[in-house]
Amino acid sequence: MAALTSKRGPSLNPLDSLKNKVGLPYLLLLPGMFWLLLFFLAPILTLVSTSTKVPGAGIGEFIQVHRWANYWDALSAMHTQFIRSFIYATLATLLALAIAYPLAYAIAFKSGKWKNVLLVLVVAPFFCSFILRTLAWRQILAQDGFLFKILQFFHLVNSSTQLTASTLAVITGLSYNFLPFMTLPLYASLERIDPRTMEAAGDLYANGFTTFRKVTVPLSMPGVVAGTLLTWIPAAGDFVNAQILGNPNTTMIGNVINAQYLQTTNYPLAATLSFILMLAILAIVLVYIRRAGTEELV
Amino acid sequence: MNKFSRWFSKNLIRIYAVVGFTYLFIPIVYTFVFSFNNYVKSNLVWRGFTFNNWKNPCGVLDICPALGNSIKIGLIATTGATILGTFIAFALGRYAFKGRGIVNTLIFLPMATPELVLGASLLTMFLNFGFNPGFWTIVIAHIMFCISFVVVTVKARIASLDPRLEQAAMDLYANEGETFRRITLPLVAPGIAGAALLAFSLSFDDFIITNFNSGTTITFPLYVYTHAERGLPAQANVIGVSMFMLALIIVLAGQFVGRKRKTTA
């Protein structure tokens, strides 16, 4: 974005003269920022304040005592689910990358005039409701489902194999459901690559694989970073896949938080866990961005 | 290397793409097939072919009001988020101002926060202030989480504009307002349309945030979720598949119009 700010000297941008009107950008920002402050930032602060409360005398009554030890208690009680969520999200992200990269590559370089149609087809399945899709996977993987029968025919599974209600099903569901968040950024960065860079590699006696490894992959890294983040973040906080496709041993932190809010109504614990989840994800994301060397995510 | 393996390695990426698309469409095909199921109570076992579910998509209690709510919420939230987000995108893409870092952070944070935390924290605040969740709290929440996606989409479009086009307009004695209205806005419009489509799809399909802030209001994803255990009617499949087809038609039509305009221009 730096290219558009006034730092770059003589400007080509005719609207630069508008920059004298100092108030205008703030006027444009005001309504949206107001909305985010009121309905994003203020709720997060409420969450933090709720997290240090303790149960009071009455049912559903909580008293503010600034008990920061709540965080320690929550972590020691639920660290398994936290770690499990991050592992599942990471595996699902890697799976999604393995599926989406060749797909995005094929659309960007091998599809000719079908490019736009294929691009639409890659996103279209995700307009059919998230919950419906996940339920469909449960039925497909079930023992009387058609995929199971096909696998059984090839002796890849037998009647004692359980595909639903398993870790594998949860991870598959997570990677399937967030796939467009992976495919679209990958496609965007692959499509931007000048094909001549790959031809040049070929001219320099690089074979197909070396060209891919030394030219295509490095040039598509912004897409990889954006895609993995946009997949990993919702996957780490998800509870729907674990609920529909999992079993009690695949409980993710999202399931715990959801249950604490809506069933147990232990708001302080739910708030504590939510805030830990948010901070943990932010910390991991920031380290990842720094490592990957792309500051330009937004 | 024999003939087959050479063909295979040459077309590896295409074979992979076919496998990838098959994977993508398996649940859709399943949902489509079972929308024709002559189901009894729950739509889990195949009981024969019927058109009844398609002829009568509102034939089960509550499903169409839920769909109506989803569409209404989607439209209001899309309008709100698109307007607010586009304003921010123009401010960020076109102006130098103090506090840019803070604005960028506030746009980035909601996208880096899991939906669960967004929904839960908003509910906590609504409850603290004695606000009853319902239709309008869902709208508020949806506008909130859609804004960032609109900003990112529109800002990318603004950044890709050739500034010389605007300069040319001003050389031809268009004033700032005219340049904006007749050059900048039409050029950014596809980005805004894309952002609106994205916002609508995010809002329409949202379950997690809505589940927290819905009170007694039922949207389509909530309907599907709450009926999943008691037996989901095949009408839900009909609506899901229709949304998929509608999206396909809208996007393909948009691409067609875009291509036509490009060739006639």
The answer to whether residue A17 is domain-embedded is no
Instruction: Check whether residue B37 and residue B99 sit in a common domain.
Output: no
Question: Across the interface, which of B14, B116, B236 has its CB nearest the CB of A132?
Answer: B236
What average pLDDT does range B73-88 have in this prediction?
97
Q: Mind telling me how many Å the CA of A135 is from chain B's nearest CA?
A: 8
| B30 — pLDDT class (breaks 50, 70, 90) | very high
The answer to whether residue B205 is domain-embedded is yes
The answer to whether residue A195 is domain-embedded is yes
Instruction: Check whether residue B127 and residue B217 sit in a common domain.
Output: yes
The answer to whether residue B122 is domain-embedded is yes
Structural domain range at position B86: 61-232
Instruction: Check whether residue B7 and residue B66 sit in a common domain.
Output: no
Mutate one of A18, A19, A29 to test the B interface: name it (highest B CB count within 10 A): A29
Helix A23-36 vs helix B135-159: crossing angle, to nearest 10: 140
A297 has a pLDDT exceeding 90? no
Tokens of B180: 């904006």
The pLDDT assigned to A11 comes to 45
- Residues 2-31 of chain A with CB under 8 A from chain B are 3-7, 12-15, 17-19, 22, 24-26, 28-29, 31
Percent of chain A's residues with pLDDT above 90? 46
Q: How far apart are CA A150 and CA A139, in angstroms?
A: 14
Tokens of B27: 């649940």
Structural domain range at position A242: 68-113+166-292
Nearest CA in chain A to B212: A262
What average pLDDT does range B103-109 have in this prediction?
93
A8 has a pLDDT exceeding 50? no
* Contact between residue A157 and residue A151 where contact means Cβ atoms under 8 Å apart: yes
Residue (of B156, B21, B155) closest to A119 by Cα position? B21
* Contact between residue B249 and residue B257 where contact means Cβ atoms under 8 Å apart: no
Taking CA atoms, A37 is separated from A29, A234, B87, in Å, by 12, 22, 16
Burial degree of A92 (CB within 10 A; 0-12, 13-18, 19+): buried
Instruction: Check whether residue B65 and residue B166 sit in a common domain.
Output: yes
A42 has a pLDDT exceeding 80? yes
The pLDDT assigned to B262 comes to 57
Identify any residues that bridge with B42 across adjacent strands, giving them in sequence order. Answer: B40
Instruction: Check whether residue B136 and residue B206 sit in a common domain.
Output: yes
* Contact between residue A36 and residue B105 where contact means Cβ atoms under 8 Å apart: no
| B265 — pLDDT class (breaks 50, 70, 90) | very low
Element of type H or E holding A95: helix A69-110
The answer to whether residue B238 is domain-embedded is no
Q: What is the CATH number of the domain that holds B108?
A: 1.10.3720.10
The answer to whether residue A32 is domain-embedded is no
Nearest CA in chain A to B84: A32
* Residues B182-231: tens digit of each pLDDT: 888 898 998 999 899 889 989 999 999 999 999 899 999 999 999 988 88
CB distance B124–A137 less than 8 Å?
A: no
Complex-level ipTM: 0.88
Question: Across the interface, which of A43, A106, A136 has its CB nearest the CB of B124?
Answer: A43
* Residues A85-131: tens digit of each pLDDT: 999 999 999 999 999 999 999 998 888 778 888 888 888 888 888 99
| A2 — pLDDT class (breaks 50, 70, 90) | very low
The answer to whether residue A10 is domain-embedded is no
Question: Three-state SS for B49?
Answer: strand
Higher pLDDT, A207 or A39: A39
Tokens of A55: 């149960």
Instruction: Check whether residue B14 and residue B104 sit in a common domain.
Output: no
Question: Three-state SS for A55?
Answer: strand
* Contact between residue B234 and residue B56 where contact means Cβ atoms under 8 Å apart: no
Identify any residues that bridge with A53 across adjacent strands, giving them in sequence order. Answer: A64
Altogether, the residues listed in chain A come to a count of 298
What average pLDDT does range A230-253 have in this prediction?
93
B119 has a pLDDT exceeding 90? yes
Helix A179-191 vs helix A115-123: crossing angle, to nearest 10: 160
* Residues A23-38: tens digit of each pLDDT: 888 999 999 999 999 9
Higher pLDDT, B58 or A22: B58
Question: Across the interface, which of A25, A32, A100 has its CB nearest the CB of B95?
Answer: A25
* Least-confidence region, from A4-8, A18-22, B188-192: A4-8
Higher pLDDT, B216 or B258: B216
Cα B238 to the center of its chain, rounded Å = 19
* Contact between residue B87 and residue A31 where contact means Cβ atoms under 8 Å apart: yes
Instruction: Check whether residue B67 and residue B167 sit in a common domain.
Output: yes
Instruction: Check whether residue B220 and residue B134 sit in a common domain.
Output: yes
The pLDDT assigned to A296 comes to 52
* Contact between residue A192 and residue A159 where contact means Cβ atoms under 8 Å apart: no
B232 touches A: beta carbon within 8 Å: yes
Number of structural domains in chain B: 2
A1 touches B: beta carbon within 8 Å: yes
Mean pLDDT over the full length of chain A: 85
Higher pLDDT, A26 or A11: A26
A12 has a pLDDT exceeding 70? no
The answer to whether residue A92 is domain-embedded is yes
* Residues A121-172: tens digit of each pLDDT: 888 888 888 999 999 999 888 877 777 788 888 877 777 777 788 899 999 9
Q: Which residue has the tokens 């916002």?
A: B199
* Contact between residue B191 and residue B157 where contact means Cβ atoms under 8 Å apart: yes
Q: Mind telling me how many Å the CA of B253 is from chain A's nearest CA?
A: 11
Q: What is the CATH number of the domain that holds A231?
A: 1.10.3720.10
The pLDDT assigned to A7 comes to 41
Number of structural domains in chain A: 1
Mean pLDDT over the full length of chain B: 89
* Residues A260-276: tens digit of each pLDDT: 988 888 889 999 999 99
DSSP calls for A196-235: HHHHHHHHTT--HHHHIIIIIHHHTHHHHHHHHHHHHHHH
The pLDDT assigned to B261 comes to 65
pTM, entire model? 0.87
Instruction: Check whether residue B106 and residue B222 sit in a common domain.
Output: yes
The pLDDT assigned to A3 comes to 39
Higher pLDDT, B75 or A6: B75
Instruction: Check whether residue B75 and residue B43 sit in a common domain.
Output: no
Element of type H or E holding A2: none
Specify the amino acid at residue A1. M
